Amino acid sequence: MKNSKLKNSLTALVLLFTIAGFAQDKSSNIVSLDEFYSKIKSQKNPQIIDARGADEFALNHINGAVNFNLQSENYGKYVAALDKSKPVFIYSIGAGRSVALEKELLKNGFAAAYSLEGGIANWIGNGKPFYTNSKSKLSLTEYNKIVAENNSVLVDIGSKYCGACKKVKPILETIKAQYGEKLKIVEIELEDSPQIIADLKNINIFPTLILYQKGEIIFKKEGINNLKNEVDVALN
């Protein structure tokens, strides 16, 4: 009887440690924009990593960032150039590649690594300084004019490199077919118009959808869940 109780206790203990280990493995240091920015500003020479692809990085990135991810050809060389004793600040288009890289660095002895919540969308979309090699196709003045001159305006803000953003397109086509000229649809991509996204200073993630009526925001939503239904409710 005692042996049976001991066996059950050991089994429960092993299960507890297994669950704890799994939970720890799943955790990550995803931090808010304010915390991410504050930590970077506290460092004399911050180690900032853009974990997106090279083509994405070439178009826009956080000032001072270097570009590599787990799939980079010279991954080991890039990691070796970092100081393990200092924090590393990582971002991507959202949080996928940045979290994967963050976990890998922590597993390999880095003192601290942080992933930016909302990625580059959050950084640029809230007006933080960034590099871009392109001029925005749409200015804030032009944006405000569109909103003012049209009764109903649906704005889609995203990136061609964002998987979730691609899923918005067919929904917009359905909405466009239904409402025609009654609804002005404006599509803004980071790669074409980074400055207008920065000037709006209220974009935290891609995709973000904003519906205006008579110049007023009816709703602002992050992601595409119930988008069609919410547009229908607002316009009917």
Give 24-51 pLDDT, tens digit per residue.
344 579 999 999 999 999 999 999 999 9
**pLDDT for the residue numbered 135:** 83
- Percent over 70 (pLDDT), the chain: 88
CATH number of 140-235: 3.40.30.10
Give the residue numbers marked as catalytic: 162, 165
Quote the pTM value: 0.85
Tens of pLDDT, residues 110-164: 999 999 999 999 999 999 999 999 888 999 999 999 999 999 999 999 999 999 9
Neighbour-count burial of 63, counting CB atoms closer than 10 A to its CB (0-12 exposed, 13-18 middle, 19+ buried): exposed
* Tokens describing residue 190: 């980071």
Class of domain 2-132: alpha beta
**pLDDT for the residue numbered 16:** 38
Say if residues 192 and 114 touch (Cβ distance below 8 Å).
no
Band of the pLDDT at 8, cuts 50, 70, 90?
Answer: very low
Tens of pLDDT, residues 155-214: 999 999 999 999 999 999 999 999 999 999 999 999 999 999 999 999 999 999 999 999
Tens of pLDDT, residues 208-236: 999 999 999 999 999 999 999 999 999 98
Cα(18)–Cα(73) distance, rounded to whole angstroms? 34
**pLDDT for the residue numbered 18:** 33
**pLDDT for the residue numbered 27:** 55
**Is a pLDDT exceeding 60 seen at residue 13?**
no
**pLDDT for the residue numbered 23:** 35
**pLDDT for the residue numbered 94:** 87
**pLDDT for the residue numbered 3:** 46
* Tokens describing residue 5: 């109780």
Can you give the residue ranges of every domain in the chain?
A: 2-132, 140-235
**pLDDT for the residue numbered 95:** 85
Q: What is the 3-state secondary structure (H, E, C) of the chain?
A: CHHHHHHHHHHHHHHHHHHHHHHHHHCCCEECHHHHHHHHHCCCCCEEEECCCHHHHHHEEECCCEECCCCCCCHHHHHHCCCCCCCEEEECCCCHHHHHHHHHHHHCCCCCEEEECCHHHHHHHCCCCEEECCCCCCCHHHHHHHHHHCCEEEEEEECCCCHHHHCHHHHHHHHHHHHHHHCEEEEEECCCCHHHHHHHCCCCCCCEEEEEECCEEEEEEECCCCHHHHHHHHHC
Tens of pLDDT, residues 110-123: 999 999 999 999 99
